[in-house]
Structure 1
Amino acid sequence: MKAVLCKAYGPPESLVIEEIEPLKPGKGQVVIAVKACGVNFPDTLIIQGKYQFQPPMPFSPGSEVAGVVKALGEGVEAVHIGERVIAFTLFGGFAEEALAEASQLIRIPDGIDFTTASSFVMTYGTSHYALKNRARLQPGETLLVLGAAGGVGLAAVELGKVMGACVIAAASSAEKLEVCRHYGADEVINYASEDLRERIRALTAGKGVDVVVDPVGGSYSEAALRGMAWDGRFMVIGFTAGEIPRIPLNLMLLKSCSIVGVFWGAFATRDPQRNQENLGELLSWLASGQLKPLISQKYPLNRVADALQSMLARKVTGKAVLLIDAE
């Protein structure tokens, strides 16, 4: 079977596509015939050796797969060959086959295609976990989303509206902010041309925002934190800007606010039952049409470097998907 392989840490251009032996499932595992795989920012980090988890070489990046169960390992009874499933695999998804733990598979609802399914779990799972479990977002609260046109950001905009919040979307261009408005944002801030802190103050009549979702990091994090309301909650999700900000701790004291870490992948592993409950809620919203993932870019397997470069350059609005066999 064909697989994208990382044989040495480096840029996307260093990846190769090779024929490798078909996969065999171990105890409790399944082999999935991959139809599509979401492209996420951690994929750009793991091939450079910059991610929290480093698989043994050689490995295939890609963590968010949708496909059909092809083979069952010992003891697997809850799923069957031919079932359409989503799996979060940490790595191995940019290939014609992927291994997954049977206990962590999610059945794809009827009416949802493989491409949409592959773009859903990581971004919506992360944002949902952030807003529901970590921020405990309440109806009527004000939510500020940084990097709001990216995968995690746009999911947070949509979910914020579903959960009853007033949503302020912040992004770096008028085009991106127009997408955010289309996905439900009540107000927008162009932080490339506007003063983020002052716009937060103006939009909230000086009160500040109750919750911040920050998958970006960099220079905007402190400005957003300074724009928080009393007892606010600041969600640290990632650092796509490349810079991990150094925050003055006196700000938390003065505002009695909290900075909260959001590591959805670890949550999914440590608390699989609660994660499955969350995903069930998300999939019901997807099936009912309350959530509509934006897939702005699709790539064949042989253009994997282009897909990852686009992610690195922050040119992806919503999600990019690698199509392996999505028809």
Structure 2
Amino acid sequence: MAAHITFGTAWFALYHRGRLQPGETVLVLAGAGGVGSAAVRMARAHGCWVAAAAGGSEKAAICRDLGADAVIDYEAEDLYATVMELTNGRGVDVIFDPVGGDWSDTARRLLAWEGRLLVIGFASGRIPSAPANHVLVKNYAVIGVHMGGYRERRIDLVRECYADLHGRLERGEIKPFVSEVIDFDAVPQALRRLSERQTTGRVVFDPHR
């Protein structure tokens, strides 16, 4: 289930909605998080150059372990300046954004010509907006990704997604990042840490522990 949710979201975002192509450049916000870590691995497995952004040295180290080509600690580095330097001023083709808020405002300025901003969620608590004139001048697309909607409208794509993911898991191309497995008593504390963005990867609840 950890793979279905996190990698499923990344699959629909990058492969289906984002039409990701091998060789493209990708920026993943919250790269050490549940869906962010999956996006890093899925984009790398697709032959893309991946920059992962995370807050703090511990989360930045996790992004490196996940295989990101470049890692930005946005508590210690300037996200915009660093990515522009890494891409020689071009920006990135695709941004995977589960954060929203101020980081989304900064990230969309990093999109290259005809780039795609994938809107995954709003972990920051603020829903950002992209000025229409900026979208027009840079000729980029803002693309919403809601995996749950496909269960009602395109169950065939959900089956295709899971079949592809299972094949990749069996071949060792991707691996879920489960940071911890908790029992029932630990759920309240885990939910608090999740709301405060203190978790990494996927926190899995096992009712049999």
Fold equivalence (TM over 0.5): yes
CA contact (8 A) 1:143 1:211 kept: yes
The answer to whether residue 107 in structure 2 is matched with residue 224 in structure 1 is yes
1:181 and 2:38 are equivalent in the alignment: no
State the match for 1:194 in structure 2: 77
Contact 1:225 1:234 survives alignment (8 Å): yes
What is the deviation of 1:193? 2.0
Question: Which residue number in structure 1 is paired with residue 161 of structure 2?
Answer: 278
Q: Tell me how far apart the structure 1 counterparts of residues 206 and 106 of structure 2 sit (CA, whole Å).
A: 39
Unaligned stretches of 5+ residues in structure 2: none
Q: Distance in 1 between matches of 2:21 and 2:109?
A: 21
Structure 1 residue 208 corresponds to structure 2 residue 91: yes
Is the helix fraction higher in 1 or 2? Answer: 2
Q: Name the amino acid aligned to 2:60.
A: L
- C-alpha displacement at 1:246, in angstroms? 2.7
TM-score (norm 2): 0.97
1:174 Cα deviation (Å)? 1.5
For normalisation by structure 1, the TM-score amounts to 0.62
- Separation in structure 1 between the aligned mates of residue 186 and residue 107 of structure 2, nearest angstrom: 36
Cα root mean square deviation, aligned = 1.1
Q: Distance in 2 between matches of 1:308 and 1:276?
A: 30
The answer for the alignment partner of 2:139 in structure 1 is 256
State the Cα deviation string for residues 1-21 of structure 1 (Å, max 9, x = none). xxxxxxxxxxxxxxxxxxxxx
Give the equivalent residue in structure 1 for 2:192. Answer: 309
The question of whether the paired residues in 2 share the 8 Å contact of 1:145 and 1:153 is answered with yes
Equivalent position amino acid for 1:179 in 2 = I
Distance 2:206 2:170 in 1: 22
Please state whether the residue corresponding to 1:320 is helix, strand or coil. strand
Structure with more strand by fraction: 1
- Deviation by residue 1:70-100 (Cα, 9 ceiling, x = unmatched): xxxxxxxxxxxxxxxxxxxxxxxxxxxxxxx
What is the alpha-carbon distance in structure 2 between the residues aligned to residue 286 and residue 308 of structure 1?
A: 28
Query: Equivalent residue for 2:149?
Result: 266
Q: What residue is the counterpart of 1:44 in the other structure?
A: none
More contact order relative to length (CA 8 Å, sep ≥ 6)? 2
Query: Which letter maps to 1:270?
Result: R
| Corresponding residue number in structure 1 for 2:175 | 292
Residues 116-151 of structure 1: CA deviation (Å, up to 9, x unaligned): xx3111111001100001110000000000011000
2:26 corresponds to which residue?
143
In structure 1, what is the equivalent of residue 125 of structure 2?
Answer: 242
Aligned partner of 1:140: which letter? G
AA aligned opposite 1:224: A
Say whether 1:120 aligns with 2:3.
yes
Please tell me the residue identity of whatever aligns with 1:285.
Answer: R
Answer yes or no: is the 8 Å Cα contact 2:51–2:72 preserved in 1.
yes
Q: How far did residue 303 of structure 1 move?
A: 2.2
Quote the offset at 1:321 in angstroms.
0.7
Q: Distance in 2 between matches of 1:227 and 1:267?
A: 29
> What residue is the counterpart of 1:132 in the other structure?
15
Identity among equivalent pairs (%): 43
The range that moved more, 241-250 or 229-238, is 241-250
1:319 match: 202
Secondary structure of the 2:101 match is: coil
- Distance of 2:152 and 2:33 partners within structure 1: 24
How far apart, in 2, do the equivalents of 1:199 and 1:149 lie? 18
Q: Number of residue pairs matched?
A: 209
Does the 8 Å contact 2:28/2:95 carry over to 1? yes
One-letter code aligned to 2:113: W
Aligned-partner SS, 2:116: strand
Q: 1:126, 1:139 → 2: CA distance?
A: 19
What pairs up with 1:26-65 in 2 under 5 angstroms?
none
Shift of 1:184: 1.1
Structure 1 unpaired stretches of 5+? 1-117
2:101 aligned partner, one-letter code: G
